């Protein structure tokens, strides 16, 4: 068994990138349900397809030894999360009644996404 806790890059255990990616995927799934679409399709329409690839970090194509590249990548992920939270707020509050189960699902997913941020 190999402990990868202190490895930077693709081999790390759940780090900030992966936690944010998990939160984004969960919220995309909830919003896709409102739109009655498959999550990958909904994500593609909203410029979030990279969160549904085989590996967010593996497909990033950055130099993981470069702190500036890692920071820029992280800033992009956080910006996607912020943008997605705005979409969730608009979709859940404008289109769903308060007692709608999908509204609660979006709310829980948004809270999860925020906790990841």
In a domain, 4, yes or no: no
- Sign of the CA dihedral running 74, 34, 91, 116: negative
Number of structural domains (the chain) is: 1
CA 113 to chain centre: 7
With 50 as the cut, is the pLDDT of residue 1 above it? no
Q: What is the pLDDT, as a whole number, of residue 11?
A: 53
DSSP 3-55: --TT--STT-SS-HHHHHHHHHHHHHHHHHHHTT--HHHHHHHTT-GGGGSS-
- 7 is written with which tokens? 């490895």
Residue 71: domain span = 16-116
In a domain, 102, yes or no: yes
In a domain, 107, yes or no: yes
Would you place residue 55 in the very low, low, confident or very high pLDDT band (cuts 50, 70, 90)? confident
With 80 as the cut, is the pLDDT of residue 38 above it? yes
Q: What is the pLDDT, as a whole number, of residue 68?
A: 96
What is the value of pTM for the model shown? Answer: 0.74
In a domain, 5, yes or no: no
Most trustworthy range by pLDDT among 7-11, 23-27, 41-45: 41-45
CA pair distance 85, 15, nearest whole angstrom: 20
With 50 as the cut, is the pLDDT of residue 2 above it? no
In a domain, 37, yes or no: yes
Q: How far is CA 36 from CA 39, 46, 84, in A?
A: 9, 15, 17
- Sign of the CA dihedral running 35, 99, 87, 68: negative
In a domain, 42, yes or no: yes
In a domain, 7, yes or no: no
In a domain, 9, yes or no: no
Q: Are 109 and 30 in contact (CB under 8 A)?
A: yes
Would you place residue 8 in the very low, low, confident or very high pLDDT band (cuts 50, 70, 90)? low
- Higher pLDDT pick, 61 / 102: 61
């Amino acid at each position: 068994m190999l402990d990868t806790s202190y490895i930077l890059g693709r081999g790390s255990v759940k780090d900030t990138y992966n936690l944010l990616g998990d939160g984004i995927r969960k919220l995309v799934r909830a919003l896709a349900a409102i739109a009655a679409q498959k999550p990958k399709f909904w994500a593609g329409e909203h410029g979030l397809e990279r969160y549904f690839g085989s590996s967010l970090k593996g497909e990033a194509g950055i130099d993981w030894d470069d702190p500036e590249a890692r920071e820029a990548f992280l800033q992009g992920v956080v910006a996607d999360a912020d943008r997605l939270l705005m979409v969730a707020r608009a979709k859940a509050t404008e289109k769903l009644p308060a007692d709608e189960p999908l509204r609660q699902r979006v709310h829980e997913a948004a809270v999860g996404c925020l906790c990841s941020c």
